[in-house]
Amino acid sequence: MTNDRNLKLLYVDDEPDLVSVVVRALRLDTHMTVRSASSGADALSLLASGEFKPDVVLLDVMMPDLDGPETLRRIAELPTGRVPVIFFTARAQSRELMDLAGGGAIGVLTKPFNPITLAKEIRTLYYASVSG
C-alpha cells in the first residue's frame, strides 16, 4: 500500500470548534475523505448504518455520555467489522497514553496538534497497523 491512496477517516469529537479545525487540517491531504460525528453514539449509528465505511476512526477520549474507550469497545462489537481506531486526547501523561494504547487502539495522538502534520501522523499509524 502506498501512503497516497485515498484514506477514509471518521473523526469523533464533541467540541464543534475543534472538529472544524481538525477537519480543515485533514482536508489539506487531498487523498483523505473526512466525515465527523459529534458523539460516540452518533459514530456508532453511522458505522452501523454502513453509510460511511471508514478505513480509520480518530476518536476523542473525553466525551460526555459515551467516552472514547467505551465507544471503541462498542465499535469492536459492530457486525460491520473491525475498524482501526486512533485515540485523540489532551491527556498527555505517559501512564494514561499507555493505558489508551493498550485498550485496543492502533495509536494515540495528543492535543494540541500540528495541523500540517496531523494527516501524516494518522497515515503512519494506520499503515503500521495494516502492514504489521
CA distance 86 to 120: 13
Q: Kindly calculate the radius of gyration of the chain based on its CA atoms and give it in whole angstroms.
A: 13
Instruction: Please report the pLDDT score of residue 2 as a whole number.
Output: 47
pTM: 0.91
Instruction: Please report the pLDDT score of residue 86 as a whole number.
Output: 95
Instruction: Please report the pLDDT score of residue 1 as a whole number.
Output: 43
Which residue from 116, 119, 65 is spatially nearest to 88, judged by alpha carbons? 119
**Mean pLDDT (10-residue bins), the chain, 132 residues:** 77 97 95 96 95 95 91 90 89 60 80 94 94 74
Instruction: Please report the pLDDT score of residue 104 as a whole number.
Output: 78
